[in-house]
Structure 1
Amino acid sequence: MACNVTASLGVARAPVATAAATRAAAPSFAGAKVSLTSVASRAGAPVAAAPLRAVRGARAAARRSSTRVMAAAGGMNCLIVNTKGGGHAFIGLYLARALMAKGHKVTLMNDGDEAKLSSKGCYAQYPALAGEGATVCWGNPTDPSTYPAGDFDVVYDNNGKDIDTCKPLIDTYKGKVQHYVFVSSAGMLKASDVTPNLTEDDPRNEKAHYFVEEYLKDEGLPYTVMRPHYIYGEHTVKDCEQWFMDRILRDRPVPIPAPGTQLTSISHVEDVAEMLALVPGCEAAKGEIFQLCGDKAITFDGLVQCIAEAAGKTPKIVHYDHAAAGLAKGEGIPFRTGHFFSSNGKAHVKLGFKGKHTFSGDVKDRIASYIASGRLDKDVDFSADDKIIANA
């Protein structure tokens, strides 16, 4: 059964308390204040006459749903431990907002040096996030003495990439939380040219995230594992669509690994956050792994064509043999060069997830954001491109 309580059961949310009342009632931590948002549920419509078995099934479903509604109505206390860099960095910001929109209380602890990071990308949005009601602080995920005080119902680990990094957080909250959510990576799965559509049960590379997933199982935590693919959207600190725009908006050729029809999953960060935010109170999510991606995959050539069309440009694609190009690490397209895509069907069924974004629907907004950032006026190093194109 899907656990999308708000969508399926019509949960209504009461207005946020006044600013004065919120300040008086909310505890402060690291300069941030928490605003408490209550959620009230509307009474359901009467059950129509039906065969006895159907009625019993409906009543049982109603009892299960009622439990989830009460959890949402009271709100859960959620801790997000967020990474200091990489493609997952802005998940914490959007997840915090998605959880608060569902009536949950949020504390976000970010790894890293606040002085060095606080002016960059998603981290620069933290003062606004605190003003919206979250508690924001900085700490070291490997040092429990830096964790925020208090008890939490749900912990999200959006930081760890190996067991040494993740174990202190897991051990600290083992037996103390209702749900533990680990943001893993779809990149841990072994690619296959025969069956390229990655699934939750595909063989994994036995390194890094693999050992964290296994530890969660072995320790008996009420865990859920989410494996994101590539993520795009505002406030990222790692290139995704920007790499393509660097070239297309400057009327430069775009070097694409041949044949260009490789499928990849890219997802808007709001959809990623929404899927993660559906976990609290969802018993069906416990002990499960989900591929965290958008509803549709897109080809490399399709990305170029989509951006070019939205920008009013003529795409210039140069296909090349990536294996023979002699590129250094980090040079070339910022994606894996083969197929890298999944289905999110399991999340639709078990979580009630419904994605709102498509890249084609978002591309004009992403171009506008790129231009507004001033990046089009900055110098970009195209030396790797020139090397590729010269030998293509």
Structure 2
Amino acid sequence: MALAQLGSRRAAGVRVSARGHAVRGAASRRSAVVVRADKCLIVNTKGGGHAFIGLHLAKELLAKGHDVTIFNDGDQAKLSAKAPFKEYGSAKLSAKAPFKEYGSVRGLKVHWGSPVDYSTYPEGPFDVVYDNNGKDLDSCKPLIDAAKGMCKHYVFVASAGAYKANNIEPMHFEGDERKSSAGHVTVEKYLEAEGLPYTVFQPLYIYGPHTAKDCEQWFVDRIIRDRPVPIPTPGVQLVTLSHVEDVASMLAAVPGNPAAIRQHYNICSDRQISFTGIAKAVGKALGKEPRIVLYSPEEVGTGKSGKAEGFPFRTIHFCASSDKAKRELGWKPKHTFLEDVPALVRNYTAAGRQHKDVDFSVDDKILSAMRVYA
């Protein structure tokens, strides 16, 4: 049970010098950060919109001088040839390489297994554990129990989707009402009850290299083929789109910052964009004027309860503030979606996606109901 050997010193109320000595005294959250080398374990999911976070977080931590192991859920034989997991294998890049070079990182150790099976755990000890895998207590409890009383810092990557929707004040701030039924919330309550030195991060929509879940690609699929872009009405719903490098840099601000313990942070860009704004930005990058068709998912029979079949986002506002992370972690984003769109479109065409078959059957159903034809 290797994770049961996690480092036993707790970080709450104590900061540690670069030489490993405990330093006591009150300090602001930003000034409490001490540069040091920690042994970090990233427990990474095998799919979904968070799978590529592990790779970019590993790069960020290694660049800061930490020792990093990725413990990836899933079957190595089935996943290692797919993005982002295929980037683990090569050791051609230095940990100090710029992020624009999207290869693998020297010094990264990778272990495959199951976070719910102690017998597959990697050898510890580890100072910082990042859980980027679990969504409910059943999938998280074994790892939490193994880390209990051992690691200095337990970081849980949850989801801003646990917030209750608010059409009056749609931007979410830490402390806003959350869904008691959400699996992530149950995990957070367990972390608190068990007394772990935890921090919770709540991501929104993420884009960037090696994503397994479409974001801007959905819009490019249609605009590059001169097809209409069906968008749930009214089209001005605001979303926060965050580059995975910015996500990783916020997560990597935790080691050496014990004052972040027992805190929640929204993990997102500091800008919002509307559905129609995404379409127009993509169209501009392609040199095309998008044909936007606004429709009601409920009326055409393709959605309900804030969801629309075939559309990559919720049909309601989904945005949040990152002010707390800026203020307390000294974090700031390097990316904006509008500045990134030209590169994102180039990546799409470089991958040859414009030549691939796309299933537009849901679009055609919507367009037929709206009496609009491709």
TM-score relative to the length of structure 1: 0.81
**1:238-387 maps to which residues of 2 (within 5 A)?**
238-327=213-302, 331-387=309-365
| Aligned partner (choices 169, 183, 187) of residue 195 of structure 1 | 169
- Secondary structure of the residue aligned to 2:200 is strand
**1:1-392 maps to which residues of 2 (within 5 A)?**
65=31, 68-69=33-34, 72-73=35-36, 75-128=37-90, 132-205=106-179, 206-327=181-302, 331-392=309-370
Tell me the amino acid that sits aligned with residue 145 of structure 2. D
Asked if 2 retains the 8 angstrom alpha-carbon contact of 1:120 and 1:237, the reply is no
- Secondary structure of the residue aligned to 1:157 is strand
- Secondary structure of the residue aligned to 1:354 is coil
Q: What is the CA–CA distance in structure 2 between the aligned matches of 1:142 and 1:372, rounded to whole Å?
A: 39
Q: Tell me the C-alpha RMSD between the 2 structures.
A: 2.0
Asked if 1 retains the 8 angstrom alpha-carbon contact of 2:297 and 2:308, the reply is no
- Secondary structure of the residue aligned to 1:336 is coil
Over residues 237-275 of structure 1, what are the superposed CA-to-partner deviations in whole Å (9 max), with x where a residue is unaligned? 111111111011111110000110000011000000000
Over residues 56-99 of structure 1, what are the superposed CA-to-partner deviations in whole Å (9 max), with x where a residue is unaligned? xxx9759x95x743xx24x0000000000000010000000000
Q: Which has the larger radius of gyration?
A: 1
Over residues 172-192 of structure 1, what are the superposed CA-to-partner deviations in whole Å (9 max), with x where a residue is unaligned? 011111100000001111101
Q: What is the CA–CA distance in structure 2 between the aligned matches of 1:174 and 1:110, rounded to whole Å?
A: 20
Asked if 2 retains the 8 angstrom alpha-carbon contact of 1:255 and 1:332, the reply is no
Q: What is the CA–CA distance in structure 1 between the aligned matches of 2:316 and 2:163, rounded to whole Å?
A: 13
Q: What is the CA–CA distance in structure 1 between the aligned matches of 2:355 and 2:72, rounded to whole Å?
A: 31
Structure 1: tracts of 5 or more residues without a match: 1-39, 42-58
Over residues 98-132 of structure 1, what are the superposed CA-to-partner deviations in whole Å (9 max), with x where a residue is unaligned? 00111111000100111111111111101136651
- Secondary structure of the residue aligned to 1:93 is helix
TM-score relative to the length of structure 2: 0.85
Structure 2: tracts of 5 or more residues without a match: 1-16, 19-24, 92-103
Q: What is the CA–CA distance in structure 2 between the aligned matches of 1:179 and 1:194, rounded to whole Å?
A: 36
- Secondary structure of the residue aligned to 2:84 is helix
Tell me the amino acid that sits aligned with residue 70 of structure 2. L
- Secondary structure of the residue aligned to 1:279 is coil
Asked if 2 retains the 8 angstrom alpha-carbon contact of 1:158 and 1:183, the reply is yes
Tell me the amino acid that sits aligned with residue 158 of structure 2. S
Q: 1:348 to 1:131 in 2, by over 3 A?
A: closer
Deviation at 1:284, TM superposition (A): 2.1
- Secondary structure of the residue aligned to 2:90 is helix
Asked if 1 retains the 8 angstrom alpha-carbon contact of 2:127 and 2:152, the reply is yes
The residue number in structure 1 matching 2:7 is none
Q: Which has the higher contact order (CA 8 A, sep 6+)?
A: 2
Q: 1:285 to 1:95 in 2, by over 3 A?
A: same
- Secondary structure of the residue aligned to 1:85 is coil
Tell me the amino acid that sits aligned with residue 353 of structure 1. W
Q: What is the CA–CA distance in structure 2 between the aligned matches of 1:369 and 1:304, rounded to whole Å?
A: 17
Asked if 1 retains the 8 angstrom alpha-carbon contact of 2:308 and 2:314, the reply is no
The residue number in structure 2 matching 1:5 is none
- Secondary structure of the residue aligned to 1:361 is helix
Identity %: 57
Tell me the amino acid that sits aligned with residue 338 of structure 1. I
Deviation at 1:308, TM superposition (A): 0.5
Tell me the amino acid that sits aligned with residue 203 of structure 2. P
Q: What is the CA–CA distance in structure 2 between the aligned matches of 1:113 and 1:126, rounded to whole Å?
A: 14
- Secondary structure of the residue aligned to 1:128 is coil
Over residues 307-343 of structure 1, what are the superposed CA-to-partner deviations in whole Å (9 max), with x where a residue is unaligned? 1001101111000012222127873211000000001
Q: What is the CA–CA distance in structure 2 between the aligned matches of 1:84 and 1:310, rounded to whole Å?
A: 32
Asked if 2 retains the 8 angstrom alpha-carbon contact of 1:185 and 1:228, the reply is yes
The size of the alignment, in residue pairs, is: 332
Tell me the amino acid that sits aligned with residue 246 of structure 1. D
Q: What is the CA–CA distance in structure 1 between the aligned matches of 2:206 and 2:26, rounded to whole Å?
A: 38
Deviation at 1:193, TM superposition (A): 1.0
Moved more, 124-133 or 93-102: 124-133
The residue number in structure 2 matching 1:44 is none
